[in-house]
């Protein structure tokens, strides 16, 4: 017991002469260590204190110390790798490289710890070259070493590993490997908003930028639906410049990578733009803001003047209110919206203004023109053709109004899908992180 106590003190101090003296007295001291003094081997303790030369002496006298684990199931190589002690790592590897594949109680090999703990990139390089197989070993959620590099933002380690993998036959498969969520390292870079890693990966030919995860999402989809800030916008620009396009729906997967021919505008599908409310509609409406205000004021004035006159001179003719209501009220509502400073860049607000204008113009034409034309038609038969043309115009106006209602339905459906997708992305991001 006294010998073990002295060995413990010598190890903490890194005192090699005392160690040599103890071993001369008891050559088997390192082969029988009592757990009452050492919760782990003397080699673990020497590594914790950074005593390189002392660790070398220990290995010279008992190389089997490299195979002893502590209470966490970690070998000395785990500890040295996590601490970034490149000299001790090299010394341990010179004795036994099989420790590179040893898992601790959390299922991690030394290379995993080196990346997760931010060890020097030289340590990562040394371990990866000593045991390429360790770069393929998975941890929880099916992550391999490359996934851990992105999650822990170890760009330096990622570059080293990618260069090593590029020299291997199946390196490209490993660079596009997916975890349990189906995310590749480019997916994770998009989720983590890491612009530097995204640039590097997009410049790597072996990386597949259109890979889809279990939710059918590409890295571009993840960036588009993530909270917007400077890095996100730059990432989006990078992905778009790399000719990554939004996938389209198929029967097997909710998304499919488009071909080059799909990047060209198709005349056969141009009609679909009539059913979508886009930024072009909003911009056009904003440019016509002054014209809308003037038109609405004229419509309101046309109906207000005779109503005021009738109220003063002929109260019995108040039935005219029911005709003018459908035009006067929408016109003054548009005036209130424009003067109230409501944001026309809001799609719902823009849609409402357009629909009000359809109502105002339609009721104005019916009440002030078409109605009188019909009443005079019995006396002037030549009015038949104008009445038919006016009827066609009304049908056209109804079609346009119905088309605008369809736009609203499409807009609401898209927003609902966007909210649903955002919820899925948030849950995916929380699971990944």
- Cβ atoms of 357 and 335 within 8 Å: the answer is no
Instruction: Assess if residue 265 is contained within a domain.
Output: no
Instruction: Assess if residue 270 is contained within a domain.
Output: no
Q: What is the CATH number of the domain that holds 31?
A: 1.25.40.20
Domain enclosing residue 59, as ranges = 1-117
Q: Are residues 154 and 100 in the same domain?
A: no
pLDDT digits (tens, 9 = 90+) for 201-242: 888 888 888 888 888 888 888 877 766 655 666 666 777 666
DSSP 37: T
pLDDT at 175 over 80: yes
pLDDT of 355 reads 82
User: Residue 42 class from Cβ within 10 Å (0-12 exposed, 13-18 middle, 19+ buried)?
Assistant: buried
The total of other beta-carbon atoms located within 10 Å of residue 258's CB is: 14
Higher pLDDT among residues 134 and 270, named by residue = 134
pLDDT digits (tens, 9 = 90+) for 77-111: 999 999 999 999 999 999 989 999 999 999 999 99
Q: Are residues 104 and 171 in the same domain?
A: no
Q: How far apart are CA 394 and CA 402, in angstroms?
A: 12
pLDDT of 191 reads 85
Domain tally for the chain? 3
Average pLDDT over residues 143-163: 91
Q: Are residues 149 and 68 in the same domain?
A: no
Handedness of CA 293, 298, 303, 309 (dihedral sign): positive
Compute the half-sphere exposure of residue 203: CA atoms within 13 Å on the CB side of its CA. 8
Q: Which of 60, 82, 117 is the last residue of a domain?
A: 117
Conformation bin of residue 400: beta by default, left when phi > 0, alpha when psi is -120 to 50: alpha
């Amino acid at each position: 017991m006294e010998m073990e106590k002295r060995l413990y003190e010598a190890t903490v101090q890194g005192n090699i002469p005392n160690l040599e003296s103890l071993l001369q007295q008891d050559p088997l001291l390192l082969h029988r260590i009592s757990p009452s003094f050492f919760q782990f081997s003397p080699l673990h303790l020497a590594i914790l204190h950074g005593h390189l030369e002392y660790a070398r002496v220990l290995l010279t006298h008992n190389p089997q110390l490299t195979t002893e684990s502590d209470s966490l199931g970690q070998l000395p190589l785990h500890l040295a790798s996590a601490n970034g002690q490149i000299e001790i790592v090299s010394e341990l590897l010179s004795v036994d490289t099989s420790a590179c594949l040893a898992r601790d109680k959390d299922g991690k090999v030394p290379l995993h710890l080196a990346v997760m703990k931010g060890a020097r990139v030289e340590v990562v390089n040394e371990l990866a070259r000593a045991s390429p197989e360790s770069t393929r070993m998975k941890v929880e959620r099916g992550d391999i070493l490359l996934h851990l590099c992105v999650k822990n933002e170890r760009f330096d380690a990622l570059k080293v590993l990618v260069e090593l993998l590029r020299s291997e036959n199946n390196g490209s498969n490993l660079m596009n490997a997916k975890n349990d969520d189906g995310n590749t390292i480019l997916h994770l870079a998009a989720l983590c908003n890491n612009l530097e890693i995204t640039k590097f990966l997009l410049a790597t030919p072996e990386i597949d930028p259109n890979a889809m995860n279990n939710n059918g999402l590409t890295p571009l989809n993840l960036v588009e639906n993530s909270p917007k800030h400077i890095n996100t916008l730059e990432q989006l620009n990078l992905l778009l410049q790399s000719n990554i396009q939004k996938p389209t729906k198929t029967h097997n997967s909710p998304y499919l990578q488009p071909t080059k021919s799909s990047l060209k505008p198709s005349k056969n599908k141009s009609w679909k733009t009539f059913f979508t409310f886009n930024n072009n509609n909003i911009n056009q409406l904003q440019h016509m803001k002054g014209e809308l205000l003037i038109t609405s004021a004229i419509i309101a004035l046309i109906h207000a003047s005779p109503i005021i006159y009738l109220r003063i001179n002929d109260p019995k003719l108040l039935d005219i209110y029911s005709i003018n209501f459908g035009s006067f009220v929408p016109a003054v509502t548009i005036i209130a919206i424009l003067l109230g400073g409501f944001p026309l860049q809001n799609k719902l607000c823009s849609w409402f203004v357009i629909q009000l204008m359809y109502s105002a113009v339609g009721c104005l034409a019916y009440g002030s023109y078409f109605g009188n034309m019909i009443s005079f038609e019995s006396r002037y038969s030549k009015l038949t053709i104008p009445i038919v043309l006016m009827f066609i115009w009304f049908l056209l106006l109804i079609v346009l109004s119905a088309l605008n209602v369809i736009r609203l339905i499409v807009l609401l459906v898209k927003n609902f899908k966007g909210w649903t997708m955002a919820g899925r992305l948030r849950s995916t991001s929380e699971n990944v992180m």
